């Protein structure tokens, strides 16, 4: 910047004068105050406008993201993808029954899907449970099944096998096990073997701590009598060769609509219009309802229940007894092995091959002496003048 000084005509020296042209030529700029304030105002206005725009954009972005999040959340929970699943290898589930006993469920694999979150699909499941406190473990296994770990209900399919600690073995194709309540039901055919013999049913239930077996919708059975459970006094019983009574250790065959097995008691029921059939050798009993009682004993080896020979048969409603020598009918018939008696009551009719018929109110037959006593209002050749008679109607 050039600075020059001048003198007045009277010789007085004036103040120096700046040369702005030289400064501008050198590229130096000196702002003016009025221009600087105006620029600052415009800058402030621009900042305020940009701030408002940014706030508006941020608000709009939050609204858009919120709407998208809400939309995705509804889609995920209301319409689960059934193909989404979680697979576990060698899973183990446990629980307790209503009476506090433990049970355990294992499998090769367990798969849980989003569609059924409370259930797992099992491959080769095995259920281990305890029927009674102090008893050994029992098992149920199958090829596959499903388990609801909330309700503790296990559905088993394909080659279902049940084996209890007291010697019962059952095979079926479907079982629904209520592990907490200790019961099983199924709508498919089943076969069970055990101390009661062999039983086949079209459907079934297993209740009361797995001790009551119910076979329904048609069932058949073979009652196998265990001679080891026979009292020693019976060894010389001459009833063994008697064809009128259900005697000896031979198989007893059963056909009924429904059968209930609990301990040594078997209750058989017929379909409406039909009768239950119980047969041993040449002797057959028919009735609408039949109860078979067997001698019970406890195994010294493991404390389990063992059943012996048929000890008593109670047949009610439309009773009929047949063998080659006799055809006896009545309202009710009772066979008591320990007393060696068969008693028929209510509208009793006895027909023999000879054509002789006796009608009476009550028939009592002694299976040892092979003689019958008719009592009450008796009609027929063997009744006698006083309406009572003893006659031999059985035997070989």
Rg (CA), the chain: 49
Burial of 177 (0-12, 13-18, 19+ CB in 10 A): buried
Could you tell me the domains of the chain? Answer: 85-210 (2.60.450.10)
The one-character DSSP state at 135 is P
**pLDDT score, position 396:** 38
Q: How far apart are the first and last CA of the chain?
A: 158
pLDDT in tens, the chain (396 residues): 454 555 555 554 554 555 555 555 555 555 555 557 778 888 888 888 888 899 999 998 988 888 887 766 554 445 656 668 899 999 999 999 999 999 999 999 999 988 888 999 999 999 999 988 888 999 999 999 999 999 999 999 999 999 998 889 999 999 999 999 999 999 999 999 988 889 999 999 999 989 899 999 999 999 887 655 554 444 444 444 444 455 566 788 999 999 999 988 999 999 999 999 999 888 899 999 999 998 887 665 555 667 778 889 999 999 999 888 888 999 999 999 888 899 999 999 988 777 788 888 999 988 788 788 888 666 666 565 444 444 444 443
Q: Which residues contact 130 (CB under 8 A, 6 or more apart)?
A: 101, 102, 103, 136, 137, 138
Alpha carbon distances (Å) from 156 to 113, 141, 174 = 18, 8, 6
Classified as helix, coil or strand, 162 is: strand
Query: What would the DSSP string read from start to end of 24-88?
Result: HHTT-----HHHHHHHHHHHHHHHHHHHHHHHHHHHHHHHHHHHHHHHHHHHHHHS--TT-EEEE
In three-state form (DSSP H/G/I as H, E/B as E, the rest C), the secondary structure along 333-387 is EEEECCCCEEEEEEEEEEECCCCCEEEEEEEEEECCCCEEEEECCCECCCCCCCC
pLDDT at residue 239, as a whole number: 43
In DSSP notation, 255-301 reads EESEEEEETTEEEEEPPTT--EEEEETTEEEEESEEEEEEEEEE-TT
Taking the C-alpha atoms of residue 290 and residue 269, their distance in angstroms, rounded to an integer, is 7
At residue 18, the 3 state secondary structure works out as strand
The pLDDT value recorded for residue 114 is 81
Q: Is the pTM of this model over 0.85?
A: no
How do strand 258-262 and strand 212-223 relate by DSSP bridges?
antiparallel
Dihedral Cα 270, 271, 275, 279, nearest 10 deg: -50
Pairing of strands 119-123, 126-130: unpaired
Residue 280 to residue 337: CA distance in whole angstroms: 14
Residues 199 and 216 sit within 8 Å (Cβ to Cβ): no
Q: Is 160 helix (H, G, I), strand (E, B) or coil?
A: strand
């Amino acid at each position: 910047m050039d600075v020059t000084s001048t003198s007045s005509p009277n010789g007085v020296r004036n103040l120096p004068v700046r040369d702005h042209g030289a400064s501008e030529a050198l590229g130096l700029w000196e702002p003016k105050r009025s221009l600087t304030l105006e620029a600052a105002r415009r800058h402030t206005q621009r900042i305020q406008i940009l701030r408002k725009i940014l706030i508006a954009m941020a608000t709009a972005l939050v609204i858009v993201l919120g709407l998208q999040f809400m939309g995705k959340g509804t889609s995920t929970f209301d319409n689960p993808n059934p193909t989404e699943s979680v697979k576990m290898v060698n899973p183990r589930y446990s629980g307790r029954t209503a009476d506090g006993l433990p049970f355990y469920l294992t499998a090769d694999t367990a798969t849980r899907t989003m569609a059924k979150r409370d259930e797992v699909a099992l491959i080769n499941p095995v259920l281990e449970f305890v029927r009674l406190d102090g008893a050994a473990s029992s098992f149920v296994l199958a090829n596959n099944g499903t388990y609801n770990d909330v309700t503790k209900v296990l559905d088993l399919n394909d080659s279902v096998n049940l084996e209890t600690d007291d010697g019962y073995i059952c095979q079926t194709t479907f079982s629904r096990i209520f592990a907490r309540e200790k019961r099983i039901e199924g709508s498919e055919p089943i076969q069970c073997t055990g101390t009661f013999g062999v039983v086949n049913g079209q459907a079934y239930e297993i209740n009361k701590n797995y001790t009551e077996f119910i076979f329904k919708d048609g069932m058949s059975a073979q009652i196998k009598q265990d001679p080891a459970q026979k009292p020693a006094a019976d060894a010389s019983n001459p009833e063994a060769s008697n064809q009128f009574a259900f005697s000896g250790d031979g198989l007893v065959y059963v056909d009924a609509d429904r059968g209930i097995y609990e301990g040594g008691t078997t209750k058989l029921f017929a379909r409406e219009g039909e009768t239950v059939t119980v047969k041993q050798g040449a002797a057959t009993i028919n009735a609408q309802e039949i109860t078979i009682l067997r001698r019970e004993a406890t195994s010294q080896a493991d404390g389990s229940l063992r059943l012996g020979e048929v000890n008593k048969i109670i047949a009610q409603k439309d009773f009929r007894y047949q063998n080659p020598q006799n055809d006896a009918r009545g309202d009710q018939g009772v066979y008591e092995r320990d007393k060696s008696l068969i008693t028929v009551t209510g509208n009793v009719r006895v027909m023999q091959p000879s054509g002789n018929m006796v009608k009476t109110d009550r028939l009592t037959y002694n299976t040892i002496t092979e003689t019958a006593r008719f009592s009450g209002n008796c009609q027929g050749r063997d009744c006698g003048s006083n309406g009572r008679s003893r006659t031999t109607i059985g035997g070989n």
